Copies of this chain bind each other. A is one copy, B any other.
């Protein structure tokens, strides 16, 4: 007998009946609000092309490192999950799907289970928890849906109630798919690109030289010297801004922002192009350029978001076999107070800078991020990120930052996902937890109920719109 799959209307609410009732009332006020998704990794082509999703494994498993890493940790090799392959045959897709269903217990207690449950039940009408016996039947249910027009990407986008969706894009991308989508008269949605220049700013990374050469080609600006390189970056930011981008996103191992003087910067840039820069010089240049990015943000108004502190590709053999983003990016200890000081000394009170800080090191919430956001008008606190985008972690986050920085310095929820169908489930989880945390404040007489409702509404609407300049 399969277990019933029926997401409970009160899920994630506190057990106490009085507080639960409060949480319900607050949630009621925000559950249907449109989704603002100002940072994520959905491919714009999905919406521009509006092709049907191919198969259940590709939709739910293979490209989503949240899912594949837990199966891998449970003993399933990545090749058995189709990772790194271009497309799956129906047989392969069924096989991958069956693995997920058989190992469903591995996901207990994780947000992945929560999101998948919501998606299966609420989007595809599945009514049983996946298991070995019903794997094929559920596969068929989903595959059947995917053939119908109302399960095409654009139809789902509308059904999900998405008001704004940001993608993440390479600075040299011509944004043709964005243009195509925006220019389609049958399309009403708002999908904006995001400028993500990491690999252009790290001379220590393989492929940097080729990247800055390409930057020169794309802009027609000679990137052979530092001045041209900076101008070319400014030009691409301008191009992105022109195409609707509202933010630039940065993900380096640390957030130091120590400046180089222009002559130093030019010298290191030349050395890096010649392949003679030391690792220390490459690092110094990367930090200097993060500061430059802030300077550019004050000029072009792109919101600056930081997603730092990850050791990418921790297991080299897996990277070699399957490429990046395959589940073994592991967090590092972070430091913001001294690292961001040069940037904040210069631009922390600049009226045109908005700096949103994300972290996977929870220790910085109360110690550094909330105190910085609690003074600098430019600094806002990003939603709990990656390993921390789960119910208990989100509640720890709230407890750790709001007492120091208040609710007004939160940037609102960010789903940050490449799993398109998980978007509504992720936002719904965040809204339920908003309602819960605020209900607890009301129950403890720390906030009035009408204020709690006002705050909840701001967090899903006005606040991210304002912070991300939407």
Q: Which of A114, A387, A393 has the most B CB atoms < 10 Å from its CB?
A: A387
Q: Given A392-B399, A443-B15, A360–B349 Cβ distance below 8 Å?
A: no
CB of A374 within 8 A of CB of B109, answer no
A303 to chain B, nearest CB (A): 16
CB of B69 within 8 A of CB of A374, answer yes
- A26 within 8 Å of B (CB atoms): no
Give Cα distance in the complex from A344 to B15, angstroms. 41
CB of A10 within 8 A of CB of B445, answer yes
What residues of B have a CB within 8 angstroms of the CB of A341 in the complex?
A: 311, 314
- A81 within 8 Å of B (CB atoms): no
What residues of B have a CB within 8 angstroms of the CB of A107 in the complex?
A: 406
CB of B446 within 8 A of CB of A105, answer no
CB of A371 within 8 A of CB of B110, answer no
Q: Which of A170-178, A241-249, A324-332 contacts B (4 or more CB under 8 A)?
A: A324-332
Give Cα distance in the complex from A73 to B403, angstroms. 14
- A3 within 8 Å of B (CB atoms): yes
Residue of B nearest to A111 (CB): B403
B-contact bits for A321-365, CB 8 A (1 contact / 0 none): 000000110111101011001001100110000000000111100
What residues of B have a CB within 8 angstroms of the CB of A121 in the complex?
A: none
- Kindly report how many copies of this chain are found in the complex they form together: 3
- A256 within 8 Å of B (CB atoms): no
8 Å CB interface, A39-75 against B? 69-70, 72-75
Lowest 10 A-B CB distances belong to which pairs?
A8-B445, A390-B403, A11-B445, A392-B399, A15-B443, A109-B402, A328-B375, A330-B337, A331-B367, A69-B375
CB of A330 within 8 A of CB of B368, answer yes
Q: Given A330-B372, A345-B317, A377-B72, A446–B114 Cβ distance below 8 Å?
A: yes
Pick the contact of A393: B388, B403, B447 (CB < 8 A).
B403
A29 to chain B, nearest CB (A): 16
Residue of B nearest to A379 (CB): B73
What residues of B have a CB within 8 angstroms of the CB of A446 in the complex?
A: 11-12, 109, 114, 391
Given contacts A73-B408, A109-B402, 8 further A-B contacts (CB under 8 A): A7-B445, A8-B445, A10-B445, A73-B374, A73-B406, A105-B451, A108-B455, A391-B403
Give Cα distance in the complex from A409 to B72, angstroms. 11
CB of A362 within 8 A of CB of B367, answer yes
Give Cα distance in the complex from A399 to B14, angstroms. 15
A211 to chain B, nearest CB (A): 26
- A396 within 8 Å of B (CB atoms): yes
What residues of B have a CB within 8 angstroms of the CB of A109 in the complex?
A: 402-403, 406-407, 441, 446-447, 455
A226 to chain B, nearest CB (A): 27
- A127 within 8 Å of B (CB atoms): no
8 Å CB interface, A141-170 against B? none
CB of A366 within 8 A of CB of B387, answer yes
What residues of B have a CB within 8 angstroms of the CB of A318 in the complex?
A: 349
- A285 within 8 Å of B (CB atoms): no
- Report 29 cross-chain contacts, Cβ distance below 8 Å, ordered by A residue: A3-B448, A3-B451, A11-B445, A11-B446, A12-B444, A15-B16, A15-B443, A16-B16, A70-B405, A70-B406, A72-B375, A73-B408, A105-B408, A108-B406, A108-B451, A110-B403, A111-B403, A314-B341, A314-B344, A315-B345, A328-B376, A330-B368, A330-B372, A331-B368, A332-B337, A360-B367, A366-B387, A367-B387, A393-B399
A445 to chain B, nearest CB (A): 4
Give Cα distance in the complex from A14 to B441, angstroms. 10
B-contact bits for A409-427, CB 8 A (1 contact / 0 none): 1000000000000000000
B-contact bits for A1-38, CB 8 A (1 contact / 0 none): 00100011011111110110000000000000000000
What residues of B have a CB within 8 angstroms of the CB of A348 in the complex?
A: 315
CB of B333 within 8 A of CB of A335, answer yes
B-contact bits for A443-463, CB 8 A (1 contact / 0 none): 111111011001100000000
B-contact bits for A376-398, CB 8 A (1 contact / 0 none): 11010000000110111100100
Q: Given A11-B446, A348-B315, A349-B315, A406–B330 Cβ distance below 8 Å?
A: no
